[in-house]
């Protein structure tokens, strides 16, 4: 059983509250494990908590990991009904020459003028990493690969990929074709949430086409229970990279690594970092949506205090040692002047514990409306304040609780 102490602190600064409400997801990058990867990002899927950050916002050549975006362009059309899995696309000479076996790059081994089902092309892109399949899709959907890349960029902005720019459908080297690890993680999560019906393709270990069988290059599919996607990448410029996800028990993690020297190093680093995340962190729900966390004093209101609640489940990714003995504080600038609107952020919950380099903070909101007193009520409250004053003190411990 894990204990946490709940205490209440008054007189939090407005600056601190403003920073909280506009803040980013919490993270533990300061204490993260070392990695040989040039770029790396490991995060918890559910809470978005960053467990490892090494150059996660640096632009990098994503190589074939950018085929995650190519697949999204197909998924979108399948979902809206403008494309079907049974529809056939014709392979051009350009697709065969630029992305096929003749180019010496990753290929589905398509033939010129061959007609290929969209479902097979999807597997050729996801499992075999076929550049010929990517170009075939691009040309059949938008006429040219350049037009397809422009559409990728527009869609990327809609998804919220702020550090990405695409010049082609394949990820082949181009100085203006780049992504950040954070964008790749965001894109992986988008695919899992938006297209669960197609996500399972990323876990398939092999695919055969034109009598040629090829294996999925994601090393975690063969070594790690719970691993179920996503995409590898490699060019001489980018090095070896991997965007991967795995779920063990009730936790899913997303990992992006890039810039490794060998396939073996990519496999070793991916396994090490995933294992580290699952071994050292756990998810814990402290309060559920609507649950009363504490109360706050009200000034010049028709109620003396207002209940503080969570507007969503307060679920955190915590170091395992921290989760066993948490210090939980409610902080607000009090008393809160009326009127107060139900759902208005008026306090924050601050969570601290062992192995946590910085506390985690989330807003708490008012559970009900609080109207302002009328003129005579305010006059009486003001008089009372002049006589008795208003004590603003820090209450070291107002409650204790035990949660599993």
CA triple 283-289-294, angle to 5 deg = 100
Q: At what angle do helices 131-142 and 67-80 cross, to 10 degrees?
A: 40
Other Cβ atoms less than 10 A from the Cβ of 63: the count is: 27
- Compute the distance between CA of residue 330 and CA of residue 292 in angstroms, rounded to an integer: 12
238: cis peptide before it, omega within 30°? no
DSSP characters for 237-298?
TTEEEEEEEEEETTEEEEEEEEEESSHHHHHHHHHHHHHHHHHHEEEEEEE-TT-EEEEEEE
| Annotation marks residue 64 as catalytic | yes
Q: 80: which 2 tokens?
A: 């809206």
| Annotation marks residue 79 as catalytic | no
- Compute the distance between CA of residue 196 and CA of residue 190 in angstroms, rounded to an integer: 10
- Compute the distance between CA of residue 150 and CA of residue 168 in angstroms, rounded to an integer: 9
Q: Which of 105, 129, 164, 267 is flagged as catalytic?
A: 129
DSSP characters for 319-365?
EHHHHTEEEEEEEE-SSEESPB-TT-EEEEEEEE-TT-SS-EEEEEE
Q: Which of 63, 64, 164, 267 is flagged as catalytic?
A: 64
3: cis peptide before it, omega within 30°? no
Alpha helices in 86-173 (DSSP H): 93-99, 118-126, 131-142, 145-159
Q: Are strands 292-299 and 305-309 parallel, antiparallel or unpaired?
A: antiparallel
Q: Which of 7, 54, 67, 164 is flagged as catalytic?
A: 67
- Compute the distance between CA of residue 16 and CA of residue 13 in angstroms, rounded to an integer: 5
CA 391 vs. chain centroid, Å, equals 43
Whole-number Cα distances in Å, 34 to 38, 41, 59, 247: 11, 12, 21, 22
- Compute the distance between CA of residue 397 and CA of residue 73 in angstroms, rounded to an integer: 54
| Annotation marks residue 129 as catalytic | yes
205 assigned binding-site residue: no
Binding-site residue positions for substrate: 231
User: What amino acid positions are annotated as catalytic residues?
Assistant: 64, 67, 129
Binding-site residue positions: 231
């Amino acid at each position: 059983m894990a204990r946490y102490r709940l205490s209440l602190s008054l007189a939090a600064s407005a600056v601190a509250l403003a920073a909280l409400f506009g803040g980013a997801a919490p993270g533990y990058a300061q204490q993260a494990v070392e990695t040989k990867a040039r770029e790396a990002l490991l995060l918890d899927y559910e809470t978005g908590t960053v467990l490892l950050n090494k150059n996660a916002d640096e632009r990098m050549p994503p190589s074939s990991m950018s085929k995650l975006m190519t697949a999204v362009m197909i998924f979108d059309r399948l979902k809206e009904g403008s494309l079907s899995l049974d529809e056939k696309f014709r392979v051009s000479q350009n697709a065969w020459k630029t992305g096929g076996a003749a180019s010496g790059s990753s290929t589905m081994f398509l033939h010129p003028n061959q007609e290929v089902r969209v479902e097979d092309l999807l597997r050729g892109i996801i499992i075999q990493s076929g550049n010929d399949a990517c170009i075939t899709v691009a040309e059949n959907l938008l006429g040219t690969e350049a037009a397809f890349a422009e559409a990728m960029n527009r869609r990327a902005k809609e998804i919220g990929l702020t550090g990405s720019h695409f010049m082609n459908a394949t990820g082949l080297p181009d100085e203006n074709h780049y992504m950040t690890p954070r964008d790749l993680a965001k894109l992986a999560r988008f695919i899992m949430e938006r297209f669960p019906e197609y996500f399972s393709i990323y876990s398939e270990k092999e695919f055969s086409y034109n009598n040629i069988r090829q294996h999925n290059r994601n090393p975690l599919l063969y070594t790690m229970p719970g691993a179920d996607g996503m995409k590898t990448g490699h060019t001489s410029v980018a090095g070896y990279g991997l965007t991967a996800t795995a779920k063990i028990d009730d936790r899913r993690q997303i990992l992006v690594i890039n810039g490794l020297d060998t396939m073996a190093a990519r496999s070793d680093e991916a396994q090490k970092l995933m294992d580290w995340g699952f071994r050292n962190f756990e998810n814990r729900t402290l309060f559920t949506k609507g649950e009363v966390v504490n109360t706050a004093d009200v000034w010049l209101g028709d109620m003396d205090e207002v209940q503080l609640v969570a507007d969503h489940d307060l679920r955190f990714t915590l170091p395992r040692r921290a989760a066993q003995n948490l210090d939980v504080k409610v902080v607000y600038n009090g008393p809160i002047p009326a009127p107060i609107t139900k759902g208005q952020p008026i306090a924050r919950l601050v969570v601290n514990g062992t192995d946590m380099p910085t506390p985690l903070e989330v807003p708490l909101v008012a559970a009900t409306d609080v109207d302002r007193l009328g003129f005579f009520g305010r006059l009486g409250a003001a008089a009372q304040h002049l006589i008795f004053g208003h004590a603003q003190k820090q209450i070291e411990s107002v409650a204790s609780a035990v949660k599993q």
